Amino acid sequence: MNLKQTIYLSLAIVSLVIGVHRCIIDGQSVSISAAIGYNYWIFMITIVCLMLFRNEKKKQRS
């Protein structure tokens, strides 16, 4: 695993943890579905980082 892959994977994990934490905190004042909606962009950062990680992994194999 090279440096780019490590950075992408660590950013994905960190953004996932932050998103879940924000949903738990926001879920205390609004419904959980609204909390997920408010923090949707954080989860999209996770998805983008995982896609970039997977793309770098494919490039490394070929």
| Residues 9-50: tens digit of each pLDDT | 999 999 999 999 999 999 999 999 999 999 999 999 999 999
Note the pLDDT of residue 8. 97
Q: How confident is the model at residue 62 (pLDDT cuts 50, 70, 90)?
A: confident
Spatial distance between the Cα atoms of 38 and 56, rounded to a whole number of angstroms: 30
* pTM score: 0.89
Q: Can you tell me the distance from the alpha carbon of 52 to that of 45, in angstroms, rounded to the nearest whole number?
A: 11
| Euclidean distance between CA atoms 20 and 45, whole angstroms | 13
What pLDDT is stored for residue 11 in this prediction?
A: 98
CA separation for the pair 18, 38 (Å, rounded): 13
